[in-house]
Amino acid sequence: MTEPEIIFSVEGGAGVITLSRPKALNALTFDMVRRMDRQLVDWAGDSAIKVVMITGAGDRAFCSGGDIKSVAEMVKNGAAARKEAGEFFRLEYTLNHRIFTYPKPYIALIDGIVMGGGKGVSAHGSHRIVTENTVFAMPEATIGFFPDVGGGYFLPRCPGETGLYLGLTSRRANAFDSLYIGFATHFVPGAKMADLRAAIAASPHRLEAILKRFSQAPTPVSGLVPYREKIDSCFGHDSIAEIFAALERDASPWALGTLKTMTSLSPFSLKVTLQQIRRGAKMDFADVMAMEYRLSQACIDRPDFYEGVRAALIDKDKTPRWNPPTVDKVKDADVAACFQSLGAQELVL
């Protein structure tokens, strides 16, 4: 018998969502997203459900992202499959918006890896609980994409330029970094997460008091703190060329290491991501999601997307051949075209 990919249960006064693809690090499929969205609608209207909790099965990941390998393969399989790939993003972003506007406490229990689409089903909820095992990243530039699922809203609202830094470098962040940038709201040791879940389910009306009892102060401090001044200085520009130049002028081991990382990523993705985050700083969440839907449809049709997924997830040779190969070869007009309205195909929330 095939195990379900997503499980919905009721525990006391809590609706519980369990992402249940542990071998795939709980990556989101089209069906999982569709079913989760429908369930949230049902629970929103159910007076017996006081809170919603979401967790991941297994001991490695909360959610590693969307099943981007399947999406890339759809893009290559003709018009009908390409249309389905586009609809995956429409439904995923609709789900992200539902979570952002959810009328009940939405609590993400994030023990392990949370990347890409995993952020979309956690960061926009009211409570995000991390453990010492949490690893957070937005690695989309490594696969010729951009930090979507609301990254254009969340990242520019991180302290200073830390969000842009994370989005342009795909740097991994630990639990303490996650608290510092505002992704996480509470830190609870992994050994206590099951007890926390049970306590919330038993007394959802006492949610805040329960979280206060279980949570601990973050120690040590975020590893971003010692580099905060450099991050704000080097990433406080509106072009990738200027950011590269600032890193070269700084010339510290941190700056040169950051520059080396960025020059290995998709040049087109870097330029799109910078514009996405700068524009998103001035938008409300629904407008950001509409913008990101436009970007998703443009980017999945560009060569870097399949090439990035091929190198990372299909052939796994880790040597993508980007097109264009360098930032200076990326045309600003091509980047701007990704942000243009889709007309009747726009995402309307």
Domain residues of the chain, as ranges? 6-345
Tokens, residue 307: 């090439």
**Active-site residue (options: 15, 66, 112, 151):** 66
**Active-site residue (options: 15, 56, 117, 308):** 117
**Active-site residue (options: 5, 67, 111, 140):** 140
Q: Are strands 6-11 and 14-19 parallel, antiparallel or unpaired?
A: antiparallel
**Active-site residue (options: 92, 111, 148, 307):** 148
Helix 240-250 and helix 253-262, axial crossing angle in degrees, nearest 10: 150
Amino acid at 133: N
Whole-angstrom CA distances from 70 to 3, 8, 36, 77, 220 are 19, 24, 19, 11, 39
- Asked if 96 and 150 touch (Cβ cutoff 8 Å), the reply is yes
The pTM assigned to this predicted structure is 0.96
140 is catalytic: yes
In the CATH scheme, what is the code of domain 6-345? 3.90.226.10
- Asked if 98 and 91 touch (Cβ cutoff 8 Å), the reply is no
Give dist(CA 289, CA 292) in Å, integer. 5
Tell me which DSSP letter residue 46 carries: -
* Lookup result for tokens 């940038």: 181
Q: List the pLDDT tens digit at each of the 349 positions of the chain.
A: 678 999 999 999 999 999 999 999 999 999 999 999 999 999 999 999 999 999 999 999 999 998 888 888 888 888 788 888 889 999 999 999 999 999 999 999 999 999 999 999 999 999 999 999 999 999 999 999 999 999 999 999 999 999 999 999 999 999 999 999 999 999 999 999 999 999 999 999 999 999 999 999 877 889 999 999 999 999 999 999 999 999 999 999 999 999 999 999 999 999 999 999 999 999 999 999 999 999 999 999 999 999 999 999 999 999 999 999 999 999 999 999 999 999 999 999 9
End-to-end CA, the chain? 38
58 is catalytic: no
